[in-house]
Amino acid sequence: MPEEFKLRINQKIQVAKMRNDLWFNSIILDTGAETISIVIPFDKERPLVLYQDEIVRIRLAANNASYLFSTKVTGVVLDKIKLYKLAYPKNITRIQQRKHVRFQIISMDVEYAHQEGRNNYTKGTVIDISGGGMKMAVRKNIPKHERIFLKLVLRLQNRTELIQVKAIVVRSKKAEPDREIYHLGLRYEDITNKQQDLIVRYVFERMAQQRRLY
C-alpha cells in the first residue's frame, strides 16, 4: 500500500460485487486498524445487499490519484443506521496518476462566457471532464491564463444538475490546421464541494455505464 494513502471518514466510495460492473455509491463512516465501516451502498433507490465473507470491489479518488481494491465483508452493524463492516485492504492498486478520474465524452455541450451574464454565453463542446477540470473544443481561441465562466448540464441517473463554475485556461492549442477549432485545457476555480461531488458522480456513472456496454 502506498505509504501516503489513508482511507478517511466521510470518504466517498463506490462499491461493486465481484464479476459485476454495477457500482453503488457509499461513504466511509469509520476506520480502524483492521476494519472500515461504510453506509449501505445505493444505486438510485436500490440498495446493494452484501453477505458475511463476500468479496467486493471498492474504488475512490484520494491523494492525487484514483484507487481500486478488493476486500471482504466482515459483518453488519445495526446502530442508528445499518452499516457494513469491511476488512481494511492489504493491497490497493493505483489506477490513475490524478486526483480526479477523467472521462472522455462523445458529445456534451457546454456554454462559456468571459463575464457572467444571461445573454453573452457561447457554445463549446466537452472533450473530457473530471472533478478538477475539463478539455473543451471551441471555435475561437482563448489565451492561456484567461478566466472564463462555464455552464453545463449533467445528466445523472436520477436527475439533471446545472453546474455554473469559473475556470482558468491552462492550455490552448489549435486542434486542426485548416479549421478554426481550438482545444482548451481548463481548471475549475472556486468550485464548491457539492459541484465537484456532482461532477465526480457523473464521471463514475458514465464509466460504469460504458463498462456495461462492452
pLDDT score of 53: 94
CA distances from 202 to 129, 148, 196, 209 (A): 9, 22, 10, 11
Write out the chain's pLDDT in tens, 214 residues: 444 578 889 988 999 998 777 889 999 999 998 999 999 999 878 899 999 999 999 988 765 567 889 999 999 888 778 899 999 998 887 765 455 666 676 568 999 998 766 668 999 999 888 888 999 999 999 999 999 999 999 988 888 999 999 999 999 999 878 889 999 999 999 888 788 888 888 887 877 776 655 4
pLDDT given for residue 210 in this prediction: 65
Is residue 16 within 8 Å of 24, Cβ to Cβ? yes
Q: Which residues contact 40 (CB under 8 A, 6 or more apart)?
A: 26, 47, 48, 81, 82, 83, 84
| Residues 166, 182: Cα–Cα separation, whole Å | 19
Q: In whole angstroms, give the CA distance from residue 84 to residue 74.
A: 8
Task: Identify the structural domains of the chain with CATH numbers, from first to last.
Answer: 12-96 (2.30.110.10), 103-213 (2.40.10.220)
Amino acid found at 121: Y
Query: Residue 200: enclosing H or E segment and its boundaries?
Result: helix 193-213
The residue among 138, 191, 187 whose CA lies nearest residue 163 is: 191
Three-state secondary-structure class, residue 18: coil
Q: What is the pLDDT, as a whole number, of residue 116? A: 67
Phi-psi region of 81 (alpha: psi -120 to 50; beta: other; left: phi over 0): beta
What are 62's strand-pairing partners?
65
Pairing of strands 42-43, 35-39: unpaired
- pLDDT given at position 192: 86
